[in-house]
């Protein structure tokens, strides 16, 4: 049996040389252009893919950084919002207390002195 180490990827014929396989492919399967293009530009394509990968990785790192910063900003904004909310609650409570004190004072004045205090407008 002859040594035919080059196998056709399409019909699995064995061929002696790489050139033989190429011409087999072009004659039998009519696909020389695609293979030649791939063969000639393979290294350049591989290199440019590596470069693209590096660029994408960098972009990913940037996006990760932005995400962390945005998250920090959000936490800060939420914290400030909660503080403001707490302050509003506190002021509301104060207002209610003041209202009660005023109402109590007014009823005390009315009861003891017979004076009706005007309602605050
Ligand atoms: Zn074939």
Q: How far is the CA of 23 from the centre of ligand 1 (A)?
A: 10
Centre of ligand 1 to C-alpha 41, Å, is 23
Residues 68, 44, single domain; the answer is yes
pLDDT of residue 42: 66
Specify whether 59 is located in the same domain as 24.
no
User: So what's the pLDDT on residue 113?
Assistant: 83
Q: Could you tell me the residue range of the domain that residue 9 belongs to?
A: 1-30
Neighbours of ion ligand 1 (CB under 5 A): 8, 10-11, 13, 28
Same domain, 25 and 77: no
pLDDT of residue 79: 92
Please indicate, yes or no, whether residues 96 and 72 belong to a single structural domain of this protein: yes
Provide the pLDDT for residue 75.
92
Distance 26 CA to ligand 1 centre (A): 9
Is 121 contained in some domain?
Answer: no
Ligand 1: centre distance to CA 33 (Å): 16
Residue 4: CATH number of its domain: 3.30.160
| Same domain (yes/no): 61, 41 | yes
Axis crossing angle, helix 32-113 with helix 18-28, rounded to the nearest 10: 80
Tens-level pLDDT at each residue, the chain (121 residues): 578 999 888 888 899 998 888 888 778 877 655 555 566 666 677 788 889 999 999 999 999 999 999 999 999 999 999 999 999 999 999 998 888 888 888 888 888 888 887 766 5
> Per the structure block, which two tokens stand in for 96?
């209610």
pTM flag (> 0.85)? no
3-state DSSP percent of the chain in helix, strand and coil, to 5: 75, 5, 20
């Amino acid at each position: 049996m002859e040594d035919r180490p080059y196998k056709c990827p399409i019909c699995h014929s064995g061929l002696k040389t790489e050139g033989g396989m190429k011409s087999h492919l072009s004659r039998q399967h009519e696909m020389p252009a695609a293979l030649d293009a791939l063969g000639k530009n393979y290294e350049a394509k591989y290199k440019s893919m590596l470069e693209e990968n590096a660029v994408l990785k960098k972009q990913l790192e940037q996006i990760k950084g932005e995400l962390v910063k945005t998250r920090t900003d959000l936490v800060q904004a939420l914290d400030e919002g909660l503080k403001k909310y707490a302050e509003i609650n506190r002021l509301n409570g104060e207002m209610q207390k003041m209202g009660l004190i005023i109402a109590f004072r007014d009823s005390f004045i009315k009861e003891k002195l017979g004076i009706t205090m005007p309602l605050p407008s």
